[in-house]
Amino acid sequence: MHSIPQSLLGCSPALKRSHSDVLGCSAFQACSSEEDKENEPFEFKKPTRPASRSSLRDSPLDGEQDTSAQRQKSASGFMNDEEMPFGMASLWTAPLVMKTRQETQGQALVEAPLSSPTEIENILDSDPRDLIGDFSKGYLFHTVDGKHQDLKYIDPEMMVAVLNGSFARFIKECMIIDCRYPYEYEGGHIKGAVNLHMEEDVEDFLLKKPIVSPDHRRVIVVFHCEFSSERGPRMCRFVRERDRLGNEYPNLHYPELYVLKGGYKDFFLKCRSYCEPQAYRPMHHEDFREDLRKFRTKSRTWAGEKSKRELYSRLKKL
């Protein structure tokens, strides 16, 4: 295309008609200079039976005669007929079919309508508006990057703003679920936090009698453990999974879930005055090795029994 003279491009019929003329009009019309845009995407549409030069001269349409004469004149200036390669004559006479940017960019939108919930969720999950779990609204709290990309994290400063009532008019209730073991919780925890380290306890607490907001204010749950690395994120995912199973998609009892980044350790270091007692007891404390062994064994036993129950439930459905 770089070898075609500029005068030839200016004589193309496709650049002298609107998009509607290409679809439904047989006669070419003069177009404004705005329509002759540079670098517009186009493609050659070769007719099944190339038109001869004589048929173009015999055409009753004056507009086509003028255009064909100009095109033939430009072609003769470019190369002689006897030097023209085979098929080149049809190239000069073939109409150019323009593709607008809107058509090019919107090709993916002309596909069959989406009906699968998975397809809908995949699209909405990538929505730049960042909607909460039931896709009804955006997240209320400012979030930060965390270890697990599928979860929403807030920093200790945002947690303090919630505790100070900065979002009171938007929130019916904000529950803080401390997923650490009881001896860790007793050694210091965030004011108002509830200690639930077992999945069955969290399910009973949140989902047996879900909190309902009659005035459409938000019900928010924040999870954390010592570092918010494993136990807190795992509990957050568990609640979302059980909530999905108990509701018709995409409805949820708790669509807005967060994880406290850095866990209790970071919160204690930055916001000690919001802890009670104002202390921090790590999971691997020397004085509580036996407690750690006991709670870990209990958690693993319950997890094993849970897996057996789920397997038995699946077999019953077969």
Q: Active-site residue numbers?
A: 225
Rounded Cα–Cα distance for residues 207 and 242 (Å): 8
Nearest C-alpha neighbor of 283 from the set 179, 202, 158, 191: 179
The one-letter code for the residue type at 244 is: R
Residues 6+ apart with CB under 8 A from 311: none
Distance CA 222, CA 159 (A): 9
Amino acid letter, 285: H
Return the structure tokens found at 218: 């938000």
Question: Cα separation of 250 and 122, whole Å?
Answer: 12
